[in-house]
Copies of this chain bind each other. A is one copy, B any other.
Amino acid sequence: MECMALGKDYATQECSIARALEVVGERWTLLVVRDAFYGVRRYNDFLVHLGIPRAVLAARLQTLTAEGILDKRRYQESPPRDEYVLTARGLALWPTLRALGLWGRDFLNKPDLRTFRHAVCGTEQELGPYGECPACGTVVPVSDVELMPGPGLDRDPADPVSRALLKPKRLLQPLETEPV
């Protein structure tokens, strides 16, 4: 009885888009993945940054881990603490998130909230739609993308994660939340 019809799958669909959506199409899931790209790694940071119910976050982290998109790993022993980091499969979701973000920016809201650029070549130009650097022409690997806060962003957000994201930083680089 484990294999059938949870009602959450798109049963009749023979399509890799449908398969993908069964895994990352649930509410909150892609936002968790986005935060992982932004350097969020800890349960509590996801929690305050997303404003997600605790139970839902726990469920999502578990399925993302089970699907091999996040890797849960111990980063200190005492007290035992785990962090969630993107696997190769998770990193491969970057083009999807990029495409979604561009669509949202171009068709839904005016002000630029965040922009991305190539960290290593020193350009100030934004990455192109496929993640290519307009200055040096290459498709920039995710770890070399610099995340810049845009003009539309709230300058004084309530949670420490948003505050940490006001400074430019590389994707995937772990977040440095200020000690309170």
Given A17-B30, A20-B100, A31-B17, A12–B106 Cβ distance below 8 Å? no
Whether the Cβ atoms of B97 and A17 lie closer than 8 Å is yes
Question: Which residues of the partner chain B approach A14 to less than 8 Å between Cβ atoms?
Answer: 113, 152-154, 157, 162
CB distance from A13 to the nearest CB of B (A): 7
CB distance from A114 to the nearest CB of B (A): 7
Question: Which residues of the partner chain B approach A51 to less than 8 Å between Cβ atoms?
Answer: 10-13
Whether the Cβ atoms of A129 and B20 lie closer than 8 Å is no
Residue of A34, A92, A103, A152 with most partner-chain B CB within 10 A:
A103
B16, B30, B159: the one contacting A113 at CB < 8 Å is B16
In the complex, whether A96 has a CB less than 8 A from a CB of chain B is: yes
Whether the Cβ atoms of B12 and A34 lie closer than 8 Å is no
In the complex, whether A99 has a CB less than 8 A from a CB of chain B is: yes
Q: Mark A70-104, 1 if CB is under 8 A from B, else 0.
A: 00000000000000000001001101111111111
